[in-house]
DNA sequence: ATCAAGCGTACCAATCTAGTCCTGTATGGG
DNA sequence: CCCATACAGGACTAGATTGGTACGCTTGAT
């Protein structure tokens, strides 16, 4: 399974929570309370997100975090890149020239690159607004089931 | 980084090596020698691949492995599924109902599913033949660089 | 019968991730 | 002016996952 780190998952949750009051300043403890994610983890997420300039931080007594951009302008690809680093499938890709000792392997990097680009495109086409938005509307009981194509995911 | 396991990477290498003599029977030690991948690892890969019916195994003294299908009929998605299991980004997706304890999170599963499907499509569109073939043609220098999001510090 | 080669399982080691905590710094209110 | 609040940054620990290895068993040709 191609695994996405939990931190990224949490980040999406936190960001989508923030997008419900876009422009408002949210403190880390408040976000932890409203999302159910442990507070230290929320802080860790927000720190990484602020480093990536996806959220704006304000220090001090009345401080907190706010979305740096509207939710429509934040892609899932950016969130993943902020949390997990560059989006790449293979170790060969991220500049590790010494990593893959087998040289003849590299002959197929072009193929991986093609896959990588397709995946990146898929991730960029989904915004935070898409994830957070009328979720309750689409999230009917059982709606998820037929949302998944037959045989997909396996 | 969305990480693909090394086993999968090795599997592609081994399979592409086998596709150079499609139809022939290759022994695990011979494949290990010709690819540079450690022999036990090759064995592990081939076992998983034979379980997934991507390669046909032949036991006994003159045994070995052969591609079960022509390289054009084997997609990267199948290889990944054989090695790493179902293709899915989040833990929520693969049937783990108790996995994500935060219920309000699940409101956005529809969004993840959309991403998952796009990724799966991308992986299915690339075949083993595409990976093994004249890849050097498509592997332009720098093509990889602009794939990685700018400022995505690891 | 013997030997080569795959099959299966279990096991160990290394790596990576998740989660926590601590110390510092800035801001605003009393 | 002082203190409480909240972010910033890093270090650290525990856990899980993965990669790699080692055994013994089964199969089939010679």
Task: Look up the CATH number of the domain holding residue A30.
Answer: 1.10.10.10
At A39-61, the pLDDT tens digits run 999 999 999 999 999 999 999 99
| Ordered per-residue pLDDT tens for chain B, 154 residues | 677 888 898 899 899 999 989 889 999 999 999 888 899 999 999 999 999 999 999 999 989 999 999 999 999 999 999 998 887 776 554 444 444 444 444 555 667 777 888 888 888 888 998 887 654 433 333 233 333 333 333 3
Question: Cβ within 7 Å of strand D: which of A 9-28?
Answer: 26-28
**Chain B interface includes A129 (CB < 8 A):** no
In terms of residue numbers, what domain contains B46? 6-67
Distance from CA of B70 to the nearest CA of A (A): 17
A120 falls within a domain: yes
A63 and A99 both lie in a single domain: no
CB atoms within 10 A of CB A84: 21
B26 and B45 both lie in a single domain: yes
B148 falls within a domain: no
Global pTM reads: 0.79
For chain B, how many structural domains are there in total? 2
CB atoms within 10 A of CB B43: 15
Residues B143, B154: Cα–Cα separation, whole Å: 20
B33 and B53 both lie in a single domain: yes
Distance A146 CA to C16 C1' (A): 35
B145 falls within a domain: no
User: C-alpha angle B131/B137/B140, rounded to 5°?
Assistant: 100
B60 and B109 both lie in a single domain: no
Element (H, E) at A45: helix A39-51
B154 falls within a domain: no
Distance B62 CA to D15 C1' (A): 45
B54 falls within a domain: yes
Report if CB B57 to strand C is under 7 Å.
Answer: yes
For the packed helices A28-35 and A6-19, what is the interaxial angle rounded to 10 degrees?
A: 100
A18 and A57 both lie in a single domain: yes
Distance B5 CA to D18 C1' (A): 8
Tokens linked to B30:
């011979």
A23 falls within a domain: yes
A48 and A87 both lie in a single domain: no
B10 and B60 both lie in a single domain: yes
A145 falls within a domain: no
B49 falls within a domain: yes
Report if CB A41 to strand D is under 7 Å.
Answer: no
A34 and A51 both lie in a single domain: yes
């Amino acid at each position: 399974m191609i695994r996405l780190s939990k931190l990224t998952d949490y980040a999406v949750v936190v960001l989508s929570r923030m997008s419900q009051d876009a422009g408002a300043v949210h403190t880390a403890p408040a976000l932890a309370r409203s999302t159910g994610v442990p507070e230290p983890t929320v802080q860790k997420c927000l720190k990484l997100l602020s480093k990536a300039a996806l959220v704006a931080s304000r220090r001090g007594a009345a401080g907190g975090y706010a979305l740096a951009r509207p939710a429509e302008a934040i892609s899932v690809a950016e969130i993943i890149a902020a949390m997990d680093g560059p989006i790449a499938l293979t170790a060969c890709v991220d500049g590790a020239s010494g990593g893959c000792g087998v040289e003849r392997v590299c002959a197929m990097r072009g193929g991986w690159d093609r896959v990588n680009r397709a995946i990146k495109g898929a991730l960029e086409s989904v915004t935070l607004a898409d994830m957070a938005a009328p979720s309750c509307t689409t999230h009917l009981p059982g709606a998820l089931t037929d949302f998944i194509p037959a045989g997909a995911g396996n």
